[in-house]
Chain A
Amino acid sequence: GAGVSQTPSNKVTEKGKYVELRCDPISGHTALYWYRQSLGQGPEFLIYFQGTGAADDSGLPNDRFFAVRPEGSVSTLKIQRTERGDSAVYLCASSFWGTGPKTEAFFGQGTRLTVV
């Protein structure tokens, strides 16, 4: 597609439920990133994929959070046993990082997750 696409754009879930957030990166981008943005804050790094593998997952807050990118394109961020504190906008970005000169990351519009 033309840009990074994230679905759904909004998700409301009950505390304790499981959610999946999807990211479709720009075609050909090898690097994919997930960030979380809380109100009044800047995006906070969660995890970075280079191809299919998670190269850096140091930002995942705990083991309830997991992400996959099985074919090196689409990625899914999975959150188990959601808590109210997980409510935030989850942003996905992709770039050509690692394949040549430094390039900027392009962001999707985000998924607003609300845990009630």
Chain B
Amino acid sequence: DQQVKQNSPSLSVQEGRISILNCDYTNSMFDYFLWYKKYPAEGPTFLISISSIKDKNEDGRFTVFLNKSAKHLSLHIVPSQPGDSAVYFCAASVYNQGGKLIFGQGTELSVKP
């Protein structure tokens, strides 16, 4: 039962262009969503989050959009840089479950110079 799904295992983008990573979820109880970035041999690093009461959160080059009716969120990176090449994980939680995160399978982003 995969409650959080990232259907694209990989994405390749040209430097300077927009990267769009997608995530779908099934559990309507999720009320907090996060994106993590992971380099090889390192732990995931927090990137950006969004509460279910919002539909957009922006931090520099990174913007997360939440569409609750579609149970879909996306991460936009503009402009993409080669250093953004990593695996990106979408994660979701229910606030009264103590911060326990349910992760998607990840999308490997490759930004080519």
Contacts and interface: CB of A to CB of B under 8 A. Distances in A.
B99 A45 contact: no
Contacts of A104: 34, 46, 49
Contacts of B100: 33, 45, 48, 56, 59
B105 A42 contact: yes
B105 A91 contact: no
Q: What is the interface residue range for chain B against chain A?
A: 20 to 34
Q: What is the interface residue range for chain A against chain B?
A: 20 to 34
Interface string A1-32: 00010000000000000000000000000010
B7 interface: no
Contacts of A31: 98-99
Contacts of A43: 44, 89, 101, 103
Given A40-B105, A43-B103, A107 B97 contact: no
Which of B6, B43, B97 counts the most chain A CB atoms within 10 A? B43
Interface string B77-101: 0000000000001010001011111
A91 B45 CA distance: 12
B65 interface: no
Interface in B41-56: 41-46, 49, 51
B89 A42 contact: yes
Contact of B46 (A50, A55, A106, A108): A106
Contacts of B103: 35, 42-44
A44 B41 CA distance: 17
Contacts of B97: 56
B43 A4 contact: yes
Nearest to A104: B46
A20 to B, nearest CB: 19
Contacts of B101: 33, 35, 43, 45, 105
A38 B6 CA distance: 16
13 contacts: A4-B43, A40-B105, A40-B106, A48-B98, A55-B98, A56-B100, A59-B100, A91-B43, A91-B44, A97-B98, A104-B49, A107-B44, A108-B43
Interface of B: 4, 6, 9, 32, 34, 36, 41-46, 49, 51, 89, 91, 95, 97-106
